[in-house]
Chain A
């Protein structure tokens, strides 16, 4: 009682002690971005969303790539999309009518992008308030950002409060991520997923390694995904690999999801490449090349 009085007497000191009835904890809004196209933003969004939903979280995926809708394809939901992001933003349909329930994971929903519209038709402020309203209902709002750093990027980022950046081990991709991280600033606490790594090539010195990439980007590493043919197969089928936890890549997505959720598990790494027979013989004779 005494304390309350003293706080009331000095309002500038008192951080009001829980007077307001705070609404249930807001979910997290995470934008998945990269700058460069074709590095796996959509694939990562689909798989991370699937993995998070399988952990029991309520997840909504927003395809912010207006004009180039693809997230529905990766999830195998293309035939179920009836309304899209702009329908909601322009008040033509209620959000619940536009959300598409996932086939495989009951906690997972998709808000598809408009296919025949353009990115600059999205109103940033509306996008922002849409994401905020979704955060009240979902544990995670994952926003699949379009490539580029123009308006489409700005709109995708508008409602987010965290970022996951996707980078492949290529000069161009690293450069673009560096730029995007610079644009995001510290507010989004960007975390890194390195995608499409080929351990064999890294071993031969023909591809940038995880350390090469992250010695430049210096971001918290969520995990590394190897370039595996099975990703193409699952994309063909519209079934994210994260559904198959028994595969190395599926398990890697689950580990990334666990890390996103704050669990203290090691960042998944692709298995180190085995050297060729000749190289192994070479290393027997004291070659310590790595």
Chain B
């Protein structure tokens, strides 16, 4: 009876706990990396990306996901601006063949953020949109 009431009110069975523990333990098994190493990897990743675009360091999400028998690293790194954070006004190195007109660049800001957005689970979408809101403020940064 108690069991029934528990289930009625959405109590999770212990199999859910088992599943989650299994997921986590296998993740680290496959990585064969200590958690500190993962943290460091995250920091270094952000550091590299930050050289080219300004990222929202508070909302970085790096996870690992199993895909068949391999492991994939999924990094969701919100971009605030495509400009270099310390903005020495240099032209972008890796924009193949597009002579950069400023308005076009501003557009690319949102475009480059979009694919990442598409890959996030729906729950995170709203947050991401908010992050993109200040995009008008980005335009002057880019054109500077």
Give the B-binding residues of A (Cβ under 8 A): 170-171, 174-175, 178-179, 181-182, 201-202, 204-209, 212, 216, 218, 276, 278-279, 282, 287, 289
Contact = CB atoms under 8 A, between A and B. Distances in A.
Given A178-B29, A205-B14, A216-B26, 6 more contacts: A171-B18, A175-B29, A204-B7, A204-B13, A206-B15, A218-B68
B66 interface: yes
Interface size class of B (residues with CB under 8 A): 20 to 34
A204 B3 contact: yes
Contacts of A182: 69
A171 B15 contact: no
Interface of B: 1, 3-4, 7-8, 12-16, 18-19, 21-23, 25-26, 29, 66, 68-69
A215 B8 CA distance: 27
Contact of B14 (A206, A276, A282): A206
A207 B19 CA distance: 9
B19 A279 contact: no
B13 to A, nearest CB: 2
A168 to B, nearest CB: 12
A223 to B, nearest CB: 21
Nearest to B23: A216
Nearest to A202: B15
Given A171-B25, A204-B13, A216-B66, A289 B7 contact: yes
A174 B22 contact: yes
Nearest to B4: A278
